[in-house]
Amino acid sequence: MAFQLRRRKPAPPPTPPAQMNLERPSAQDIYEQVANNARQELGRSGISLFFSGIAGGIFMGLSGMGNAIAVALLTPAGATPTAATLFIGKMFYPLGFIAVILGRSQLFTENTLYPVALVLAEKQHFFKTLKLWAIVLGANILGAGTFATLASFTGALRPEFVSTLSWLGVEAASRPFGTIFWSGVVGGWIIASVAWLVSGSHSITGSVMIIWMLAFVVGLGGFAHCIAGSGEVLTAVFLGHATPMAFPRWLLAAVAGNISGGVGMVTLIEYGQVVYGGDAEAEALPVASGSVSIKIESHQPDDESSR
């Protein structure tokens, strides 16, 4: 009896996850990713959050350090940095944000977006969110203090780098309380926007570009960020270039502004768009009659035609 050897059809490729799907994600897709991130963060133990927060605070020192090194190298001794020098220095400001966000360390201003977006829909997570904030904020500040101690007292950085870092801290802390608060609102809004956009990004490269561009604007505009600026202000305090009370005053204004910007200008807006505004149940309008619809399909030869 003659028989025909049949070729086994290849298994269909697995469905790619949402992050790898090249189709533009909807606001609902991004919100679901944000809510999933929030559940993961709220499910972590306190000790895990604490150590991750310390790491995040230390890594954020890269922002001030990169900025200070660039400014110091481009400024002659005894001279005042020019506008062009400060512009170049701010190009290195996003380093800390890139390291923390891609490394998935805890950053307080990210957590003004993720858990709050979830709490607005699931109120039972409110107290867990407050606990998360308290642990991460405290750990971030401790990490920033660790970086400032390393920079100020160990000789790890060249004296001109430390001096420039302290100068940046004095500049930040000497601003009026109201100015720090409102600049913190803008800074919190931008960094929470970074967290939202990264959640909808398709690739690591795209995430890096998003973080770099928006964090660069934060640095360039001098907008207060309660963790990135803590290393600079604490260095100024440790070296005696600012009073001990300068840091808590600056920190209070920066934290209040970052929370207001992150929660008010991003989370509530996006929650209102997706959940309250009905994007979750919205359907695309049907194609109008008489219009031309173009559909592109990829065809692979079947078994018979491929022989």
How is the chain split into domains, by residue range? 24-276
Question: What pLDDT, on a 0 to 100 scale, did the predictor assign at position 265?
Answer: 74
Per-residue pLDDT band at 185 (split at 50, 70, 90):
very high
Question: What pLDDT, on a 0 to 100 scale, did the predictor assign at position 307?
Answer: 43
CATH level 2 (architecture), domain 24-276? Up-down Bundle (1.20)
- C-alpha dihedral, 283 to 286 to 287 to 288, nearest 10°: -140
Residue bearing the bigger pLDDT, 282 or 89: 89
**Judging by beta carbons within 10 Å of its beta carbon (0-12, 13-18, 19+), is residue 124 exposed, middle or buried?**
exposed
Range scoring the smallest mean pLDDT among 19-23, 172-176, 242-246, 274-278: 19-23
Residue bearing the bigger pLDDT, 267 or 90: 90
Question: What pLDDT, on a 0 to 100 scale, did the predictor assign at position 298?
Answer: 45
Question: What pLDDT, on a 0 to 100 scale, did the predictor assign at position 81?
Answer: 93
Tokens of 76: 């002659």
Asked whether 97 and 63 are in contact (CB, 8 A), the reply is: yes
What pLDDT, in 10s, does the model give residues 95-123? 999 999 999 899 998 877 788 888 887 88
Question: What pLDDT, on a 0 to 100 scale, did the predictor assign at position 104?
Answer: 86
Residue bearing the bigger pLDDT, 159 or 34: 159
Measured CA to CA in angstroms, residue 277 lies from 33, 58, 173, 268, 281 at distances of 18, 39, 40, 11, 9
Residue bearing the bigger pLDDT, 65 or 307: 65
What is the average pLDDT score of the chain? 84
What pLDDT, in 10s, does the model give residues 235-294? 999 999 999 999 999 999 999 999 999 888 777 777 777 766 665 555 555 655 555 444
What pLDDT, in 10s, does the model give residues 24-60? 777 778 888 888 888 888 888 989 999 999 999 999 9
* Ramachandran category for residue 20: left, alpha or beta (phi over 0 → left; psi -120 to 50 → alpha): alpha
Per-residue pLDDT band at 299 (split at 50, 70, 90):
very low
Furthest-apart CA atoms within the chain: distance in Å: 97
Whether 306 has a pLDDT exceeding 50, the answer reads no
* Mean pLDDT, range 6-25, rounded to an integer: 54
Per-residue pLDDT band at 296 (split at 50, 70, 90):
very low
User: What's the CA gap between 201 and 121, in Å, rounded?
Assistant: 23
pLDDT over 70 percentage in the chain: 82
